[in-house]
Amino acid sequence: MNDTEQLVKDALGKLAERTPHPGPTLNALRRKRKRHRNVFMIATAGVAAVAVLIFAGVIASDRYSPPSGSDAAAALNTDNGQTVALKYAPHWLPDGFVENFRGTNDQVSRVWVPAGDKGYPFTDGKPTVVLGTSAELPDTTGWDSVTVRGLKAWVRSGAGQSPGETAHVVWKAQDVLNVEVRGVGDVRGVALQVAESVRFDTKLRHQPPFKIDGRFADHVWGATASAWEAMTNWKNQVSVHVSPQQPELSGQTQPIKVRGKDGFRTGNTVSVLDAGVWIWASAESYSDTVLEAVNKVELVSSPDTSWIGKKL
Amino acid sequence: MTPSFDDFVAEQVTPLLRYATVLTCDPHLAQDVVQEVLLRAQQKWDRIGSVDLPHAYVKRMVTNEYLSWRRRRAAKDVALCMTTLESVTPPVGDKTHHYDEREAMLQRIAKLPRKQRAAVVLRYYENYEDSEIAQMLGCAEGTVRSHISRALATLRLDHTPEPAGVGLRLGEGLS
């Protein structure tokens, strides 16, 4: 996408924020529908029959004929649950930031870090920009009131769990959204600028590399499209991972049959190379559940990891 | 199961208004277009409500209504009027951009011929593929590409670099 196209996209997103409140449209619709019914009553009484006919001719005419089911289906992307809707994207980030992490399932989180930074698990206090959704607004007592794209929002900055100052912005669009920024100059200003750039995008979707029991991997992260790892916590007992890179495991290794292949058991971890990726699962103590978890992993044939390490 | 018309309206009126606002560059016209379309959709709801994706169908009605609305009124482009827009939703003060290139681009988009504008909106706002845009506008994919190419050429041509020193974004971060 070149500069002009990006500017067009940006401008249209800004224009969308000027969408009028639906109240007047709904009221007008109600009034017109009521008037429409009244006109028919008058027509029934035989008064102003010609006017009614004209009204019906003009207003009730309809040049649309419903499309076939397949036509309508083709009008939008449907994926039968093969991907996760991300729904929101920032259209501005500090220079040099690339996407490093996506968390999905219950809520969505996306994280950008400076190119080359390790990123996940984000415990080093290095610069990060996070965009996420939340189930509900947090308690904003003591936060500063601001606006984000015309919507009421709240911002606060201060020390977080990680080193360095962190700024949080929260607001309610179609969902409750939050932006978190740390490790850059003027965290508050940057957080507000990122928040201002966030837009809804129905076509923004994410395909994690595996599912287990019908649930996608919660977390996917990496440095490049070919160096990634996906993880989920299964049954709150077993940590299940998939990656093209072999896991670094220490301890005595024993062979074990898993997924119909020759795998390994190393302490409380079972690992196996299958379809070009390593699948492994660990728990606090070893049980058949660990083996079951690896067996239950459903790999996605062509996972989309092209977003890893990319700028906007 | 066919959704009721009232449920459909409750769920879709805001997305439809948003789409119509971007399409028309005029919130008032967007309201008129969406009202007209919903009135018609209500009368045909037995049929429309039973298609696989009623919202996609009604969205197409909005597109057609916008295109024909302009033909019926035949007068002129509904030029983007910032005063009108701002009276509906006052702009939020932008503390970081002295000069907002997006505003200038909006005015240029508003002057595009209607089909070009619709194609640009479907491509860059709705992120539709050429085939989807062609289906929505009832034309060939080649025509869609032509509309978008011409629109971009116009938008580039009209783009006058802003005065030095006032147009830089904070952090130069747009990538």
A255 pairs with which residues across the strands? A264
Instruction: State the nearest Cα–Cα gap between B35 and chain A, in angstroms.
Output: 6
**Bond prior to A121 in cis (omega within 30° of 0):** yes
B161 close to A (CB below 8 A): no
- Inter-chain residue contact A8 with B109, CB threshold 8 Å: yes
A288 close to B (CB below 8 A): no
Instruction: State the nearest Cα–Cα gap between B50 and chain A, in angstroms.
Output: 9
Q: Residue B56 pLDDT > 60, yes or no?
A: yes
| Residues in chain A within 8 Å Cβ distance of B159 | 4
pLDDT for residue A46: 56
Residue B45: Cβ within 10 Å count: 19
- Inter-chain residue contact B31 with A25, CB threshold 8 Å: yes
- CA–CA distance, A178 with A172 (Å, rounded to integer): 9
Identify the helix (H) or strand (E) that includes residue A86. Answer: none
- CA–CA distance, A20 with A298 (Å, rounded to integer): 45
Highest mean pLDDT among B42-51, B84-93, B114-123: B114-123
CB interface of A with B, residues 46-65, below 8 Å = 59-60, 62-64
Task: List Cβ neighbours of A95 (8 Å cut-off, separation of 6 or more).
Answer: B171, B172, B173, B175
Q: Point out the least confidently predicted range of A60-64, A184-188, B10-14, B137-141.
A: A60-64
| Structure-model confidence comparison of residues B166 and B15, the more confident one | B15
Instruction: State the nearest Cα–Cα gap between B164 and chain A, in angstroms.
Output: 18
- Inter-chain residue contact B106 with A92, CB threshold 8 Å: no
pLDDT (tens digit per residue) in A85-138: 898 999 899 999 999 999 987 789 999 999 888 777 676 678 999 999 988 888
pLDDT for residue B79: 39
Work out whether strand A277-282 and strand A269-274 pair parallel, antiparallel, or are unpaired: antiparallel
pLDDT (tens digit per residue) in A267-284: 999 999 999 999 999 998
pLDDT for residue A80: 59
Q: Residue B157 pLDDT > 80, yes or no?
A: no
Q: Residue B73 pLDDT > 50, yes or no?
A: no
Distances (CA, A) of B166 to A94, A227, B58: 19, 41, 43
Mean pLDDT of B73-99: 41
Decide if B33 contacts B24 (C-beta within 8 A).
yes
pLDDT for residue B173: 26
pLDDT for residue A49: 53
Q: Residue B93 pLDDT > 50, yes or no?
A: no
B157 close to A (CB below 8 A): no
Decide if B109 contacts B118 (C-beta within 8 A).
no
- Inter-chain residue contact B89 with A20, CB threshold 8 Å: yes
Please identify every stretch of chain A with a pLDDT value under 70, giving residue numbers as ranges. 1, 32-81, 121, 123-124, 160-163
* Chain A to chain B Cβ contacts (< 8 Å): 176
